[in-house]
Structure 1
């Protein structure tokens, strides 16, 4: 599977200090792969330092991870915190 814009919600903040919740049936390993959130740069202005709380896996409830985004010229990598 892949990132789906409709599965991401901005919870608050300003660019570089935003907090999102993202719910997907993708496994956590897929979500943390470099480039997974690249489209979120355009969709949500995802920037370095933004936080993503990801509910992943079967029924979007197998794992919950807090991640910090790093945006390098539009390529996004997230690191589990």
Structure 2
């Protein structure tokens, strides 16, 4: 699978300090891959320092990880803080 904007929710904050929740059936290894959240940079202004709570796996509840975004000119990578 891949990033789906309908699975992303802004929970609060301001640009550069936003908090999101993201639910996906993708494994966390896919979610933290470079480029997975590139579209979110356009749609949600996902930027360096933003935090994403990722609920991932087949049931969208198999794992919960706290991710921090790094946006380098539109290419987003995630650091797994869990």
How many pairs align? 81
- What are the superposed Cα offsets for residues 12-34 of structure 1, whole Å, 9 maximum, x if unpaired? 00011000000000000000000
Please list every run of 5 or more consecutive structure 1 residues that lacks an aligned counterpart in the other structure. none
Indicate the residue corresponding to 1:41 in structure 2. 41
The structure 1 segments of at least 4 consecutive aligned residues displaced by more than 6 Å after TM superposition are none
More strand by share: 2
- Which residue number corresponds to residue 75 of structure 1? 75
Aligned with 1:29: secondary structure? helix
Q: What is the CA-CA distance between 1:51 and the residue it aligns to?
A: 0.1
Give the structure 1 partner of residue 18 of structure 2: 18
SS at match of 2:9: strand
How large is the RMSD of aligned CA atoms in angstroms? 0.4
The residue that corresponds to 1:30 in the other structure is 30
Q: Distance in 2 between matches of 1:4 and 1:49?
A: 21
Aligned-partner SS, 2:55 = strand
Pick the structure with more helix per residue: 1
